[in-house]
Chains A and B, each alone.
Chain A
């Protein structure tokens, strides 16, 4: 099972790039405390100081108790950094922390497909760490979340990409055709062209990754 999912690691390489687009700011208006805080966090993240960025997001989360984005990013940084963590004790501590912040974000924003994808990625971190031990329990859970997120936002290219990539990994392993998933990835790329995040600092990553998969796995 572990082979099915190790490919996911690559997925995160392009993830940090998203931060960049978020920082673009309309300079006309004086930024609020929230905007300044978020910008600072994204800057730290871009400078490869992801833990410091997470700390800033965590501070913002305690001040902005009705905004799901700060806890979402705290969780996301913990999840991303877990993919390369080899020490199980540290891994569990980080993923426990990520889970707490996902729970916090979920309490603010219900049925949020981005949070579902993040939750699925948290499960994937466990599977990547030890597929034999965690694959059986967590892969169906992750599958279900990818399907659910897509059902909620069928035209969101990030949801299309996440599910197609997950399914593609399993199809490749079993030597099945990846053609149907390539079609989905193309659809995601087309939709990314016109995709507008719902609001400032909303997740907007995925386009680069979709193109990369297309180049690597589809023809």
Chain B
């Protein structure tokens, strides 16, 4: 009976049971400014309203009981209020700004990022290949950034008074042990890896994350492409060789392969250089990236193999006939990583890399065969508690084994050592406000070889000073083991240490970026030895030390002049150190006081061409002149280089590229070599150390054949 009664009641007085409740209130931001346009609604129901100019909203609903009111507005964090519907009146709602916004401060001290959607890009991925002086080498492009020193005859990265060994390279977070191809003295090396396989590059000149260790000065982080955009074949024909690349995609996986063959023989036949080549530089290299999606996880396997060889006679003041030098190097590198999103905003990352390098060096009658195998294992966990609080921690293990056989007329020797390092790190990112962020990290390492533990705290902090400007501060402690040329003779040492203090100012608006950074670095426990080169008889100690301080400026603008993009970098460096066999503290020969780079790119629409220009200046570098008193007391002339390039887009997929390095043919002197013994007047004779060639010409044709592009092309061929 009761049910019947209710049914009748319902039919007769439906309004009693579907009584409308009025919901009302106002929406503000955290400063109390009303928000207009916010979407206010009951979750899962259709009822809601859009807030008006004064933030006011009102709507009626037939829902009853406890409900969730959702308030969402673009670039603010969505708020939810769960309560009795009847009490949802005259609500006052404050929305917090979403920190995942371009306006949020970023910790920028020490680092340059080249990516697509990172907030501030000093460099774009394409810059790597279109910088006139870089010749397609990503390291060459990075050398136009402040904080680097021009050491033209070396080709590696020298950062803020640190030598080239103080920079470590990581691919997908995993260490690369031998990032450069070996070369002879005075011939610049190139990065081994093709820039086309990477879509994100972060170059840090100091104060970097606790995740990275074994680097005193700098880290270079390269990320391989997660998912290639399309299937394609790339063909490159160059005056120095050729290359073929191919990308194939399947439902869940993809593979990119890249091979190249370089032979400088024809070029050197046309334009002979200062070296006497018995066998000009020749290399074969192959790289592959395989990616496979497993649910929410991504597996990436990167492998690279290269083999290079050459033989030449180089001028030498102590040897009238010149110095014979030959090299044969095989290098294999592989790296696998797996990244997976877990529940509750956890992310797990696991990775491993393995390198095997075999080098055979011959100079005069001596042959040295060395084998170096190294591995890196890493596991990292990350928890995003909130957009404003992220915690990550992990552990890693480095394993390396070195073996060398030394043979000449009189001696045969074998040297070997194993160097294993275990490390653990933890780091937290806290974004207090859009204008205030902090990163705290701690890294601990244990070296089995030295039976020694080190602890490195790292802190950085960023504060937004205006709409487009911010200040960052960073402090960090960094440790690195001595190099294998020392460890092969002596294991009774400690890790070398630096401390970085960095203050950074950054202004970025309308495609213009200005950065200024001052820093101070302290070096401790640098390795010293007693002879000219480390050897069996040398005495080793960790008694070296030093400092570096300076100012780095960077300006990039692609707004002021139409179709023109340019950047200017200037670095001032003041550094002295006592290490290796230095009798006194001195400025090393790779460090100079002033460095300036100007890089410009101008797009000429009518010609479908990009014209590139770059100018590099480096002030004089130190050398020891035995004819006067002192050590590293003299300086060379400054270094000047103007380079030009031209990229012509023949069709969407065909590019013709030409470049000239050192257009003005400036004669740059990298240093001097002095005779071991004085002449009859008691004078030590010297010769200039010049680059192998003053100028370098390059012409290449690059053709991409892709699936959807084929229509375009074949229709018109």
In contact, A55 and B74 (Cβ under 8 angstroms) = no
Q: Which residues of B contact A90 (CB under 8 A)?
A: 74-75
Asked if A133 is at the interface of the complex by the 8 Å CB criterion, the answer is: yes
In contact, B70 and A62 (Cβ under 8 angstroms) = yes
In contact, A143 and B708 (Cβ under 8 angstroms) = yes
Q: Which residues of B contact A141 (CB under 8 A)?
A: 229
A89-B101, A133-B124, A136-B126 given; A180·B715 CB < 8 A? yes
Docked pose: A88 CA to B103 CA in angstroms = 10
Task: Place the interface of chain A in its size category.
Answer: 35 or more
Asked if A218 is at the interface of the complex by the 8 Å CB criterion, the answer is: no
Of the candidate stretches A153-161, A168-176, A191-199, A203-211, the one touching chain B is A168-176
In contact, A62 and B101 (Cβ under 8 angstroms) = no
A87-116, CB under 8 A of B: which get 1 and which 0?
Answer: 011101110110000000000000000000
Asked if B491 is at the interface of the complex by the 8 Å CB criterion, the answer is: no
Asked if B230 is at the interface of the complex by the 8 Å CB criterion, the answer is: yes
Asked if B245 is at the interface of the complex by the 8 Å CB criterion, the answer is: no
Asked if A140 is at the interface of the complex by the 8 Å CB criterion, the answer is: yes
In contact, B39 and A58 (Cβ under 8 angstroms) = yes
Residue of A nearest to B510 (CB): A88
Chain A interface, DSSP helix/strand/loop, else mixed: helix
In contact, B708 and A147 (Cβ under 8 angstroms) = yes
A59-B41, A140-B230 given; A180·B46 CB < 8 A? no
Residue of B nearest to A141 (CB): B229
A8-52, CB under 8 A of B: which get 1 and which 0?
Answer: 000000000000000000000000010011000000000000011
Docked pose: A37 CA to B47 CA in angstroms = 9
- Nearest chain B CB to A89 CB, angstrom units: 4
Task: From the candidates B50, B199, B603, B715, name the one contacting A137 in the complex (CB within 8 A).
Answer: B199
In contact, A132 and B565 (Cβ under 8 angstroms) = yes
In contact, B126 and A143 (Cβ under 8 angstroms) = no
Q: Which residues of B contact A176 (CB under 8 A)?
A: 651, 712, 715-716
Q: Which residues of B contact A63 (CB under 8 A)?
A: 44-46
In contact, B48 and A136 (Cβ under 8 angstroms) = no
Q: Which residues of B contact A171 (CB under 8 A)?
A: 712
A62-B70, A63-B44 given; A92·B101 CB < 8 A? yes
Q: Which residues of B contact A33 (CB under 8 A)?
A: 46
Asked if B637 is at the interface of the complex by the 8 Å CB criterion, the answer is: no
In contact, A59 and B39 (Cβ under 8 angstroms) = yes
In contact, A137 and B72 (Cβ under 8 angstroms) = no
Task: From the candidates B43, B116, B124, B605, name the one contacting A3 in the complex (CB within 8 A).
Answer: B605
- Nearest chain B CB to A190 CB, angstrom units: 20
In contact, A132 and B558 (Cβ under 8 angstroms) = yes
Asked if B243 is at the interface of the complex by the 8 Å CB criterion, the answer is: no
Interface residues of B in 354-408 (CB under 8 A from A): none
| Among A132, A136, A170, residue most surrounded by chain B Cβ atoms (within 10 Å) | A132
Asked if B252 is at the interface of the complex by the 8 Å CB criterion, the answer is: no
Docked pose: A90 CA to B708 CA in angstroms = 33
In contact, A88 and B102 (Cβ under 8 angstroms) = yes
Q: Which residues of B contact A89 (CB under 8 A)?
A: 75, 101-103
Docked pose: A146 CA to B709 CA in angstroms = 12
In contact, A93 and B98 (Cβ under 8 angstroms) = yes
| Among A55, A96, A97, A132, residue most surrounded by chain B Cβ atoms (within 10 Å) | A55
In contact, B712 and A167 (Cβ under 8 angstroms) = yes
- Nearest chain A CB to B199 CB, angstrom units: 7
Asked if A200 is at the interface of the complex by the 8 Å CB criterion, the answer is: no
Asked if B92 is at the interface of the complex by the 8 Å CB criterion, the answer is: no
- Nearest chain B CB to A44 CB, angstrom units: 9
Asked if B33 is at the interface of the complex by the 8 Å CB criterion, the answer is: no
In contact, B652 and A96 (Cβ under 8 angstroms) = no
Asked if B707 is at the interface of the complex by the 8 Å CB criterion, the answer is: yes
Asked if A134 is at the interface of the complex by the 8 Å CB criterion, the answer is: yes
Task: Place the interface of chain B in its size category.
Answer: 35 or more
Task: From the candidates B43, B102, B651, name the one contacting A174 in the complex (CB within 8 A).
Answer: B651
In contact, A174 and B608 (Cβ under 8 angstroms) = yes
Q: Which residues of B contact A66 (CB under 8 A)?
A: none
Interface residues of B in 614-667 (CB under 8 A from A): 649, 651-652
B93-134, CB under 8 A of A: which get 1 and which 0?
Answer: 000001011110000000000001000010011100000000
Residue of A nearest to B48 (CB): A59
Docked pose: A94 CA to B70 CA in angstroms = 19
A62-B41, A134-B116 given; A93·B74 CB < 8 A? yes
Q: Which residues of A contact B322 (CB under 8 A)?
A: none
Residue of A nearest to B227 (CB): A141
In contact, B116 and A60 (Cβ under 8 angstroms) = no
Docked pose: A93 CA to B47 CA in angstroms = 25
Task: From the candidates B126, B229, B608, name the one contacting A144 in the complex (CB within 8 A).
Answer: B229
Docked pose: A136 CA to B126 CA in angstroms = 8
Asked if A219 is at the interface of the complex by the 8 Å CB criterion, the answer is: no
Interface residues of B in 1-53 (CB under 8 A from A): 37, 39, 41, 43-48, 50
Docked pose: A143 CA to B46 CA in angstroms = 37
Q: Which residues of B contact A140 (CB under 8 A)?
A: 229-230, 706
In contact, B716 and A96 (Cβ under 8 angstroms) = no
Residue of A nearest to B124 (CB): A133
Interface residues of B in 65-79 (CB under 8 A from A): 70, 72, 74-75
In contact, A143 and B48 (Cβ under 8 angstroms) = no
Asked if B511 is at the interface of the complex by the 8 Å CB criterion, the answer is: yes
Residue of A nearest to B72 (CB): A58
- Nearest chain A CB to B103 CB, angstrom units: 5
Q: Which residues of A contact B39 (CB under 8 A)?
A: 54-55, 58-59
Asked if B711 is at the interface of the complex by the 8 Å CB criterion, the answer is: yes
In contact, A55 and B48 (Cβ under 8 angstroms) = yes
| Among A36, A89, A94, A137, residue most surrounded by chain B Cβ atoms (within 10 Å) | A137
Docked pose: A52 CA to B98 CA in angstroms = 21
In contact, A52 and B565 (Cβ under 8 angstroms) = no
- Nearest chain B CB to A177 CB, angstrom units: 6
A109-150, CB under 8 A of B: which get 1 and which 0?
Answer: 000000000000000000000101110110011011011000
- Nearest chain A CB to B611 CB, angstrom units: 15
Docked pose: A140 CA to B234 CA in angstroms = 14
Q: Which residues of B contact A97 (CB under 8 A)?
A: 74
Docked pose: A167 CA to B102 CA in angstroms = 32
In contact, B230 and A143 (Cβ under 8 angstroms) = yes
In contact, B712 and A170 (Cβ under 8 angstroms) = yes
Task: From the candidates B46, B74, B121, B649, name the one contacting A94 in the complex (CB within 8 A).
Answer: B74
Docked pose: A134 CA to B125 CA in angstroms = 11
Residue of B nearest to A90 (CB): B75
In contact, B715 and A177 (Cβ under 8 angstroms) = yes
Q: Which residues of A contact B37 (CB under 8 A)?
A: 51-52, 55
Docked pose: A164 CA to B34 CA in angstroms = 45
Docked pose: A177 CA to B716 CA in angstroms = 7
In contact, B711 and A130 (Cβ under 8 angstroms) = no
Task: From the candidates A51, A144, A167, A180, name the one contacting B50 in the complex (CB within 8 A).
Answer: A51
Interface residues of A in 70-87 (CB under 8 A from B): 78
- Nearest chain A CB to B608 CB, angstrom units: 7
Docked pose: A122 CA to B44 CA in angstroms = 27
Docked pose: A30 CA to B109 CA in angstroms = 63
Q: Which residues of A contact B603 (CB under 8 A)?
A: 132
3 closest A-B pairs by CB: A93-B75, A55-B39, A140-B229
Known: A59-B39, A93-B98. 15 other contacts (CB 8 A): A3-B605, A36-B46, A55-B39, A62-B70, A89-B101, A90-B74, A90-B75, A93-B101, A97-B74, A132-B603, A137-B125, A140-B230, A170-B652, A176-B712, A176-B715
- Jot down 28 A-B pairs with beta carbons below 8 A, ordered by A: A3-B605, A33-B46, A51-B37, A51-B50, A52-B37, A55-B39, A58-B39, A58-B72, A59-B39, A63-B44, A63-B46, A78-B74, A89-B102, A89-B103, A90-B74, A93-B75, A93-B98, A93-B102, A134-B116, A136-B124, A136-B125, A140-B229, A143-B708, A144-B708, A170-B712, A176-B712, A180-B711, A180-B715
Binding site for B on A (CB under 8 A): 3, 33, 36-37, 51-52, 54-56, 58-60, 62-63, 78, 88-90, 92-94, 96-97, 130, 132-134, 136-137, 140-141, 143-144, 146-147, 167, 170-171, 174, 176-177, 180
